[in-house]
Chain A
Amino acid sequence: MNSTSEAKSANKKFNFINKAELQHEAIVRPSLSFWKDAMNRLVKNKVAMLGLSIIVLTIVMAIVGPWLTPYSYNQTNLSNINAPVSSTHWFGTDTLGRDLWARIWMGARVSLAVGIIGAIIPSLLGMVIGGISGYFGGKTDMIIMRITDIGMCVPQLIYVILIMIYFGSGPLPIILAFALTGWMGAARNIRGLVLQLKEREFVLASRALGASSWRLIFKHLIPNTLSILIVSMTMAIPSAIFYEAYLSFIGIGIKPPMSSWGQLVNSGISVFQIYPSQLFIPAALISLIMLSFNLFGDGLRDAFDPKLRN
């Protein structure tokens, strides 16, 4: 039967195509999950990968750096203070004669931890609270927003001093302080976006299809705020690093003799007219890691943006 029909059609102007071979509905592109797809695009983004490599390199240095020199970060040498960069002290020494190479990489541990965790936790907290506030609106929104108003106005120093007194000094209390004071800004930002987004057509459509509030918030609204969130998160990292410096500047912060980048910059600034390297080395490192986080953040943002898929 098959062969006869073929023979028949050979005589006609139009050929019938075998329907079985036809694949209108076929999914040509390999099926990828959202995450896999995002990862693919992220890996292809050279600039973002450069950023990531610098971040990884810095983390590696933070782990092994202090051991590459025979000097310890807390070993003072009052007869060799403020030494310049040399073959024995690769970054010079500080005002107590401590090796700055060791101090910078020890400091990187504290600063990266405080910077990254201190940026992520308040952003996530803010995202959830802001999302709920913006989505439900009305009284919920009013109450949550007034709480953030109050939270933003109470001098941060009060919280911080209280935390330091009850939890001691160290990286964890600083992260706690940062989380406690940092979520309000993020919450306001997300809430503003959600207010705008929830009036969009796709949200209406989803709502019409009977999606629950939680599904709407977490599946539709929050993913659409991710790009703004990532940007503000990458910007929050240096704030967290410098917040720690600011805290130790006013007498709270990590426990001496531990160092941190913020503190190194703080003490570097006071001597920069005489020993500029004490300022410029840690400052350059902070700027470099910042640049990397921003480039990586941009790549991440692009990768997660469903609209940029092609």
Chain B
Amino acid sequence: MLKYILKRLIISLITIWLLATVSFFLLRSLPGNPFQTEVLLSAEVQQRMISYYGLDRPLYEQYFTYLGNLVQGDLGYSLKYVNRSVNSIIAESFPVSAELGLRALAFALPIGLALGVVAARRRGKAADYMSVLVAVIGISVPSFIMGTLLQYGFSVKLGWFPVAQWKGWEYTVLPSIAMGLGLLATLTRLMRASMLEVTTQDYIKTARAKGLNERQIVWSHQLRNAMLPIVTVLGPLVANVLMGTFVVEQIFAIPGLGMHFVQSVQSLDYTMALGLTVFFGAFLVAANFIVDLVYGVIDPRIRVAD
């Protein structure tokens, strides 16, 4: 096991290096430069800024400089927020996004799984169709509509919550729900399908035949096996959710990371975009690693480690 973990760790580092490399060259292959903003700069000024930031040096040279800094954990300075380092922006924004994401998960995960189980157990009955409805609303009403409607209803009309910003517990409720509903829906649908998949398996029939009661069957046989597809999606899902969502953060004016992911690529803020990519990459690689380990816990027959 230890050997496997060590091997995975090395492979993870290689993955992140490849990711940084691919992203670096793809990003730099986009037309345009970071100094083409809505406030128009002349061609000469653009050129001067390009050489000030060393972006006119040969690309491989910039690449090695970047890698050198990356190894030391230095992601460089943003080209848009010129006096803020990417490290400090991530340090400031990530906790906010992560908190929002965790709250959304804390809301969505238990309810979503429970709904999925109930729907599968009451398949074809009213409870099942209710869960389909909840799921469909969750999926097809995207978070930007949900967020806007929640905000309008509960903040503007009813005045129960603050309209926007991120300054305390009461500020987190609506954005967490707006973000969580989509997750909840996804989890409900997957859990239902997955539960149905295992319901007809032989070992369930065996369990029933040997006289186990329903509760035991559901808890120790069905759920456990039905969790596998959930765990698979949960890895990248958690990574994604913690990294922030552009839309919800925008509607509720939350100073999270989501906005930076979009803006940095859009405005060609190379250092920022690369820094975020590498940060997200490290996170996702770790999440998928954990997922693979959890596979073994859930179903010991699975040996990813081979």
Interface residues in chain A, defined as those with a beta carbon under 8 Å from any beta carbon in chain B? 47, 137-138, 141-142, 145-146, 149-150, 152-155, 157-159, 161-162, 165, 185, 188-189, 191-193, 195-196, 199, 201, 227-228, 231-232, 235, 238-239, 242, 250-251, 265, 269, 272-273, 279, 283, 286-287, 289-291, 294-295, 298, 301, 305, 307-308
Contacts and interface: CB of A to CB of B under 8 A. Distances in A.
A195 B299 CA distance: 10
Nearest to B141: A287
Contacts of A235: 139, 185-186, 189
21 contacts: A141-B304, A146-B15, A150-B15, A153-B285, A155-B261, A159-B26, A161-B265, A162-B29, A188-B235, A192-B295, A199-B299, A199-B301, A228-B193, A242-B142, A265-B142, A269-B145, A269-B148, A272-B152, A290-B140, A291-B132, A294-B189
The size bracket of the interface on B is 35 or more
B190 interface: yes
Interface string B135-172: 11101111011001000100000000000000000000
Contacts of B34: none
Contact of B277 (A47, A154, A188): A154
Interface of B: 11, 14-15, 18-19, 22-23, 26-27, 29-31, 129, 132-133, 135-137, 139-142, 144-145, 148, 152, 185-186, 189-190, 192-194, 196-197, 200, 202, 225, 228-229, 231-233, 235-236, 261-262, 265-266, 273, 276-277, 280-281, 284-285, 288, 291, 295, 299, 301-304, 306
B145 A157 contact: no
Given A149-B15, A155-B273, A196 B281 contact: no
Contacts of B22: 150, 154
A221 to B, nearest CB: 13
Contacts of B129: 47
A277 to B, nearest CB: 14
Given A150-B19, A158-B265, A228-B193, A192 B231 contact: yes
B203 to A, nearest CB: 10
Contacts of A141: 304
B193 A157 contact: no
Contacts of A158: 23, 26-27, 30, 265, 273
A290 B139 contact: yes
Contacts of B235: 188
Interface pairs A-B: 8 shortest CB-CB: A290-B140, A192-B232, A153-B281, A199-B301, A307-B200, A157-B265, A231-B193, A287-B140
B30 A155 contact: no
Contact of B142 (A47, A185, A238, A308): A238
Given A158-B26, A162-B26, A199-B301, A287 B281 contact: no
A150 B288 contact: no
Contacts of A286: 140
Given A185-B236, A290-B139, A152 B299 contact: no
A294 B132 contact: yes
A242 B186 CA distance: 15
Contacts of A239: 139
A231 B23 contact: no
Nearest to A231: B193
Which interface residue of A154, A155, A195, A305 has the most chain B CB atoms within 10 A? A155
Given A150-B19, A153-B280, A287 B136 contact: yes
A145 B11 CA distance: 11
A228 B197 contact: yes
A281 to B, nearest CB: 13
B277 A153 contact: yes
A279 B145 CA distance: 9
B306 A231 contact: no
Given A185-B236, A196-B299, A290-B136, A149 B285 contact: yes
B30 A161 contact: yes
A295 B132 contact: yes
A171 B270 CA distance: 28
Contacts of A289: 140
Given A199-B302, A269-B145, A298-B132, A142 B197 contact: no
A157 B263 CA distance: 10
B266 A251 contact: yes
B19 A154 contact: yes
A149 B288 contact: yes
B135 A153 contact: no
A235 B140 CA distance: 9
B304 A137 contact: yes
B277 to A, nearest CB: 6
Given A235-B139, A250-B262, A287-B137, A192 B19 contact: no
Nearest to B123: A302
A154 B291 CA distance: 20
A170 B148 CA distance: 28
A126 B306 CA distance: 22
Nearest to A230: B193
Contact of B232 (A188, A283, A301): A188
Which interface residue of A138, A154, A227, A232 has the most chain B CB atoms within 10 A? A154
